[in-house]
Amino acid sequence: MSREDYEIVIGLEVHSELSTKTKIFCSCPTEFGGEPNTHCCPVCMAMPGTLPVLNEKVVEYAIKAGLATNCKIADISKNDRKNYFYPDLPKAYQISQYDMPLCEHGYIEIEVDGEKKKIGLTRIHIEEDAGKLNHDDYGRGSLVDLNRAGVPLIEIVSEPDLRSSEEVDLYLKKLKSILEYIEVSDCKMQEGSLRADVNVSVRKKGQKEFGIRTEMKNMNSFRSIVRAIDYEAERQIEVLENGGKIDQETLRWDDVSGKTFSMRDKEDAQDYRYFPDPDLVTIRISEEMKENIRKSLPEMPESRKKRYIEEFKLPEYDSNILISSKYFSDLFEGATKVCNNPKAVSNWIMTDITKELNEKELEPSDIPFTSEQLGNLVVLIDKGTISSSIAKKVLQEMFENPREPQKIIEEKGWVQISDEGAIKEVVLKVLEANPQSVADFKAGKDKAVGFLVGQAMKETRGKANPQMLNKMFLEELKK
Amino acid sequence: MVVSKEEILHIAKLADLNIKDDEIDEYAKNLQDILNFVDVLNSVDTQNIKESIGTVNNSNVFRKDEIKEFGDRDILLQNAPEQEDNMFKIPKVI
Amino acid sequence: MELYELTVHELLEKLDNNEICLEDITKSYVDRINDKEKDVQAFVSISDKEALEKVKTIKERKTKFAGIPIGIKDNMCIKGTKTTCSSKMLENFVAPYNATVIDKLDKENMIYLGKLNMDEFAMGASTEYSAFKKTKNPWNLNTVPGGSSGGSAAAVAASMVPWALGSDTGGSIRQPSSLCGVVGLKPTYGLVSRYGLVAFASSLDQIGPITKDVTDSAMLLNLIAGHDEKDSTSVDNQIKDYTKALKEDVKGLRIGVPKEYFGDGINEEVKTTVKEAIKKYEEMGAIIEECSLDIADESLAVYYIIACAEASSNLGRFDGIRYGYRTKNFTSLKDIYRNSRSEGFGAEVKRRIILGTYVLSSGYYDAYYKKALKVRTIIRQEFEKLFKKYDVLLTPTSPTVAYEIGSKSNNPLEMYLADLCTVTVNIAGLPGISIPCGVDKAGMPIGMQLIGKHFDEETILRAAFTYEQAIKFRENQKPEFKM
């Protein structure tokens, strides 16, 4: 038997922090960071006698997510307590949802090798996030910060429909973009606002029942997830091929060594003792409420893509990249409105902006300038006010200290020289200084013009209009 | 049905309580007594009966998503048995 | 007559007539505490100095109850003061916020005389499970005051406070009130905010007044009732003035008497006295009818399953990390959890956590917890049926009068039977009031319980008031602090 005889089965539980202003059961801010224990109150610190009151936006956002992923929205839902002891869980129970989640039976469509595939969603439910454990300076103790305790989460549970790490990657990207589009989560991976528990099992092809699965919890990078799945599947196949058995257990993925490690001792089988939280009342969702939320859903990525191809005549490749992130897509549409040059805007986003983000390790949501400013940059190029090489420098400036591109080029004196007299002066100067090139041109080497233009650009520190230079050199040389 | 020692120890573990060896029998007996007593419920016919979580019939009690800062960290930390850098200190957790 | 012997409405009358000033009142109670607390042991903490200082600052009675003292059961948070729940676990816990009921009393500018003893985390029926002290019944210092609000009931009976707040999960206001010969009201679940009441069993707990008479009960209920946006289970009903219900009129009032509460488990003298009270009602024009509420044993079972299940979860937060007792004996995190909880909680609390954890655990949930929630529905339905026929149900409050300290505390199951008559009311979320209706041969008070429809506190208050005016219990019987 070999690798090819096995099928990998993956199910995901994705936790996404909702972008509400306040926590799920108290009025503390959800803002990331902050001095330890400053976004806290007696409720989220679980002081004796305190009680939870559900944030209405959390319910609305979860329903939104459900509608955007083709879920059936419950008529009646409730909150349950999941009991376990851990220092980041101050009440010793997490308020979650057990048997009556807000959303069920949905799906997300991904495209695998040009073919559409539906990935089933078992459910979406609301719950509260836990706090954070930090380590003290001396490595002797841990320190509990409860700023994150009570930040609202939705947990999106997929069916075991995923068959490869590539599918998982596509699924996660799609899910992330949906959550961004409907503006219920900012999905900032490095802040932990999107995390996944990954369940992996393998089985022989054609086998009906699932293999025994292992789980890797709290992963917050797509790249690590892909690597971890590949490693874990390989490990499981090897164990089985050697006649071994897979233990159902929780594993820890170590990104540095690229391996998974066993995490919990198995005798500690969890029994969460779920039961309905008597401090909270039933959630009833009327048809009217569902309809209102449905109406408030924005245009989804697939529809935008179609529009980009038909309306803006963009290639499918461009369109796919643009819709991959709502921030890209919004940037594109806003800038295009200003400059009316979709292909140019698309090129800027796909090349220079993406490059800049990668270098700075930023996400599209971190782009500091507005879509209008990007549009104006393209206008300046199209009008010939600046060259595209200057425009690259302007863009960098816009990343460092975002302001109007017009203002940047004025401050820096980067306006393109398009005055004929001034250009001619430079051309004559360069010709005089480079007799060899002149001779080369006359000897039939057309390339010499390029060199001369380059020299002229150097002379003007990039500000001369290159088309005019080209034209004028040819005129002078042909005299 | 009889509550076993192992069961008492398992339950104590779930509840994060220590039960000393010489206490096990007493806890088991107490639990057994009460379980015997509550067995009276077995004779109640609850077919087609819904569960009552509470006695309040209202639903959809929500809060507006508006920030109210508590703003007094010191008073929230004042009862901490041990703290450092404004956080609750515990033995190292890996 | 000493000031401390008066009810609050009598004190208000004297204040209105300028016969006394506010300082006289607080001084009178502080003196009384100094005199009687050594015998009764009702307080966990006494705030006599603060009380005397505060009353001096009140120059003008801007609100009706400004400067009126009160005692608070030690499971309600008062910001900046200790809230111990009579547990070693919270021995040094200083509350960082106010319970909603305390905010309401503060708005009136009332005076706190101290925090009152209770069974640890309100789990018990005799106050013997307090980690700190055993409160004595002022009628006979060798007997228990009942519980869990035993400190509150004893303090009111001994006139160390004019009135007090208690909490009631399965009878914890009504039963000690009955044993101490005072008036205790458990409001409808949802009428009074639970925010800031340290939770025992969330779906059953309610705060309520313990007072010398029914008029004070209605007045204190006025002060604490009302919707609270901090408690999702508090109900947004129209605000009522319960003193308006205080009319001497039970003509045509339909009183149902469930025969199951006059059976074998109930002491003969209790039965006889309550039956006399029923006769009295009949004489005053009420329509009395025997009825059946055949769910007494089941109610107790449902109660212990639900209350302990909820408690096992509610008490998880006491882990020695953010507040509360932390063991000295630890090297690992696990030690902190296990040892702090094992050393910080008393035996009864641990017994209930074990039971609660058991009934929620995998394999037993359906058989116990889920089953109990279903039977809870049946109990509610039984009450609904009865309330189609009756305005009020009448039962004894406690199967017995106050018993000797130590005589039952080692038998948990027997202790649980003390709640036999009261738990059904909590399970169904109904209002219930206990008022004294006589004494036994030994001179120990006997109470009866009037149960009303949801949010119909008015009718039970009216029925209680009418009876109280007719028999004048307080005028005829006084605690004697027998040794």
Residue numbers in C near A142 (CB within 8 A): 333
Same-domain check for residues A61 and A155: yes
Q: Which residue has the tokens 């703003």?
A: B71
What band does A255 get if pLDDT is binned at 50, 70 and 90? confident
Asked, for residue B3, whether it belongs to a domain, the answer is yes
Selected residue of B55, B57, B63, B83 to mutate for chain A interface (largest A Cβ count, 10 A): B63
- Given a cut of 90, whether residue C110 has pLDDT beyond it is yes
Cβ C357 vs Cβ B8: under 8 Å = no
Q: How far is A192 from chain C (nearest CA, A)?
A: 25
Q: Which residue of C has its CA nearest to B89?
A: C321
* Placement of tokens 């160390």 in the chain: C160
Q: What is the CATH number of the domain that holds B3?
A: 1.10.20.60
From residue A355, alpha-carbon distances to A223, A345, A350, A363, A395 in Å are 18, 15, 8, 11, 11
Say how many domains are in chain A: 3
Asked if the C-beta of A278 comes within 8 angstroms of chain B's C-beta atoms, the answer is: yes
Residue C115 contacts A, CB cutoff 8 Å = no
The answer, yes or no, to whether residue A1 has pLDDT greater than 70, is no
For residue B55, being part of any structural domain is answered with: no
> Residue B38 falls within a domain, yes or no?
yes
* Probe site for chain B from A40, A267, A280 (most B CB atoms < 10 A): A40
pLDDT, one tens digit per residue, over C179-193 is 999 999 999 999 999
Looking at the structure, do residues A38 and A182 belong to the same domain, yes or no? Answer: yes
Closest to C175 (Cα-Cα) out of C47, C270, C278, C111: C270
Chain C residues whose CB is inside 8 A of the A81 CB are 313
Q: Hey, is A375 helix, strand or coil?
A: helix
Residue reference for tokens 């306006």: A415
User: Among residues C86, C148, C299, C340, which one is catalytic?
Assistant: C148
Q: Which chains touch A (3 or more CB pairs under 8 A)?
A: B, C
Q: Which residues of B touch C93 (CB under 8 A)?
A: 79
Beta strands in C35-179 (DSSP E): 43-46, 69-73, 111-116, 163-168
C342–B17: do the CB atoms touch at under 8 Å?
yes
In this prediction, residue A17 has a pLDDT band, given cuts at 50, 70 and 90, of very high
Take residue A14 and report the two structure tokens written for it. 């994705």
- Third-level CATH fold of C3-260+271-292+384-476: Amidase signature (AS) enzymes (3.90.1300)
Catalytic, C202? Answer no
| Contact state of C317 with A46 under an 8 Å Cβ cutoff | yes
Q: Do B49 and C232 touch (CB under 8 A)?
A: no
Cβ within 8 Å of B, C 331-360: 331-333, 335-339, 341-342, 345, 350-351, 353-355, 357-358
C198 and A42 within 8 Å at the Cβ level: the answer is no
CA distance A300 to A298: 6
* Closest Cβ opposite residue B66 in set A21, A143, A278: A21
Subunits next to C (3 or more Cβ pairs <8 Å) are A, B
- CB-based contacts of C320: which residues, under 8 Å, 6+ apart? B81, C326, C327, C336, C337, C340, C341, C344
Model pLDDT, residue A447: 84
CB proximity C189 to B under 8 Å: yes
CA-CA distances (angstroms) from residue A288 to A35, A291, C223, C247, C325? 42, 5, 39, 47, 50
Check residue A264 and give its pLDDT.
64
Enclosing domain of residue A122: 3-289
Confidence of residue C175 (pLDDT cuts 50, 70, 90): very high
The band of A439, judged by pLDDT with boundaries at 50, 70 and 90, is confident
How many domains is chain B partitioned into structurally?
1
- Taking contacts as CB-CB distances below 8 angstroms, the residues of chain B near A37 are 73, 76-77, 86-87
Contacts with A289 from chain B: Cβ below 8 Å: none
Instruction: Examine the pLDDT at C478 and tell me if it is beyond 90.
Output: yes
Q: Do B40 and C350 touch (CB under 8 A)?
A: no
Q: How far is B4 from chain C (nearest CA, A)?
A: 12
User: Can you give the residue ranges of every domain in chain C?
Assistant: 3-260+271-292+384-476, 296-377
Task: Compute the distance between CA of residue A18 and CA of residue A128 in angstroms, rounded to an integer.
Answer: 10
Give yes or no for residue A267 having a pLDDT over 70.
Answer: no
> Measured between CA atoms, how close is C338 to chain B, in angstroms?
5
Q: How far apart are CA A295 and CA A308, in angstroms?
A: 23
DSSP state of A74: P
Taking an 8 Å cut-off on Cβ atoms, the answer to whether B91 and A283 are in contact is no
Contact B65 A22 (CB under 8 A): yes
In a domain, B33, yes or no: yes
Query: Looking at the complex, does the CB of residue C310 fall below 8 Å from at least one CB of chain A?
Result: yes
In a domain, A95, yes or no: yes
Separation of alpha carbons C154 and C41, rounded Å: 9
CA dist C359 and A166 (Å) reads 44
What SS3 class is residue A446? coil
The CA–CA distances, whole Å, from C460 to C166, C274, C451 equal 19, 16, 7
**Residue C372 C-alpha, separation from nearest chain A C-alpha, in angstroms:** 13
Contacts of B22 in chain C (CB under 8 A): none
A436 plus A405 within the same structural domain: no
B54 is a domain residue: no
Tens of pLDDT, residue by residue over A52-68, are 999 999 999 999 999 99
Which member of C199, C201, C337 has the closest CB to residue A49?
C199
Q: Judge whether C93 is closer than 8 Å to chain B, CB to CB.
A: yes
A333, A334, A337, A342 alpha-carbon torsion, rounded to 10°: -40
Answer yes or no: do A228 and A315 share one domain: no
In a domain, A294, yes or no: no
- Largest distance between two CA atoms of chain A: 94
pLDDT of residue A428: 87
Chain C neighbors of B61, CB-CB under 8 A: 232-233
The answer to whether the beta carbons of residues A153 and A15 sit under 8 Å apart is yes
Query: A132: Cβ–Cβ under 8 A, 6 or more apart, which residues?
Result: A88, A144, A145, A146, A147, A148
A165 preceded by a cis bond (ω within 30 of 0): no
Instruction: Please identify, among A357, A380, A412, the residue that sits at the C-terminal boundary of a domain.
Output: A412
**Counting beta carbons within 10 angstroms of the beta carbon of residue A439, is it exposed (0 to 12), middle (13 to 18) or buried (19 or more)?**
exposed
Residue of C167, C172, C312, C434 with catalytic role: C172
> Considering the domain boundaries, does residue A112 fall inside one?
yes
CB atoms within 10 A of CB A327: 18
The model's pLDDT over C368-427, given as tens digits with 9 standing for 90+, comes to 999 999 999 999 999 999 999 999 999 999 999 999 999 987 777 777 888 889 999 999
Q: Which of A216, A174, A397, A202 is nearest to A305 (CA)?
A: A174
Question: A93 contacts in C (CB within 8 Å)?
Answer: 313, 316
- Confidence (pLDDT) at B2: 80
| Residue A231 and residue A91 share a domain | yes
pLDDT value for A169: 94
Which residues 155-174 on chain C approach chain B with CB closer than 8 angstroms? none
A71 to A177, A304, C248, C360: CA distances (angstroms): 17, 21, 60, 31
Q: Got the DSSP string for A127-196?
A: EEPP-EEEE-TTSSEEEEE-TTTT-EEEEEEEPS-B-SHHHHHHHHHHHHHHHHHTTS----GGGTSEEE
Instruction: Output the pLDDT for position A105.
Output: 97
- Summarize pLDDT for A158-183 with one digit per residue, the tens: 999 999 999 999 999 999 989 999 99
Residue B71 lies in a domain: no
Q: Are strands A250-254 and A6-17 parallel, antiparallel or unpaired?
A: unpaired
Whether C187 has its CB under 8 Å from any CB of chain B: the answer is: no
Q: Kindly report, residue by residue over B31-59, the tens digit of the pLDDT.
A: 999 999 999 999 999 999 999 999 988 89
Note if C82 is an active site residue.
no
CA distance A451 to A429: 14
Instruction: Using an 8 Å CB-CB cutoff, list chain C residues near B93.
Output: 333
State the Cα–Cα distance between residues B63 and C211, nearest whole angstrom: 35
Quote the pTM value: 0.90
Is A264 near chain B, with CB under 8 Å? no
Instruction: Check C358 against B50: CB less than 8 A apart.
Output: no
Mark yes or no for CB contact C95/A91 under 8 Å: no
Rounded mean pLDDT, C167-174: 98
Query: Could you report how far apart the first and last alpha carbons of chain C are, in Å?
Result: 24
User: Residue A286's pLDDT is what?
Assistant: 97
- Taking CB atoms and an 8 Å cutoff, what residues of chain A touch C97? 42, 47, 50
- Residue span of the structural domain in which B28 resides: 1-43
Distance CA A224, CA A255 (A): 7
Is residue A340 in a domain?
yes
Whether residue A426 is found in the same domain as residue A407:
no
- Token digits of residue A392: 């690259």
Query: B25 lies in a domain?
Result: yes
**Is there a single domain that holds both residue A244 and residue A273?**
yes
ipTM score: 0.97
Compute CA distances A396 → A356, A360, A392, C309, whole Å. Answer: 8, 11, 6, 61
- From C322, C345, C358, residue closest to B11, measured CB to CB: C358
Non-local (6+) Cβ contacts of C5 within 8 A are C159
Same structural domain for residues A177 and A126?
A: yes
Asked if A108 contacts C334 with a C-beta cutoff of 8 angstroms, the reply is no
Beta pairing, strands A103-112 & C43-46: unpaired
| Mutation choice for B interface testing from C358, C381, C425 by most B CBs within 10 A | C358
How would residue B1 be classed by pLDDT, with cut points 50, 70 and 90? low
Choice between C64 and A111, residue whose per-residue pLDDT is larger: C64
Query: Does the distance separating the beta carbons of A144 and B53 come in below 8 Å?
Result: no
> Taking CB atoms and an 8 Å limit, are C229 and A53 in contact across chains?
yes
pLDDT, averaged across chain C: 96
Average pLDDT over residues C232-250: 96
Cβ-nearest to C357 among A46, A144, A273: A273
B68 in any annotated domain = no
Measured in angstroms, the CA of A341 and the nearest CA of chain B are apart by: 40
Q: Are A385 and A441 members of one domain?
A: no
CA-nearest residue of chain A to C85? A48
Q: Does C230 touch chain A (CB under 8 A)?
A: yes
C220 versus A186: which is more confidently predicted? C220
Rounded to whole angstroms, how far apart are CA atoms A40 and A34?
Answer: 11
Residue A457 in this model has a pLDDT that exceeds 90: no
Pair (A426, A408) in one structural domain: no
C248: number of Cβ within 10 Å: 13
Q: Which of the listed residues A258, A289, A320 is the one where a domain comes to its end?
A: A289
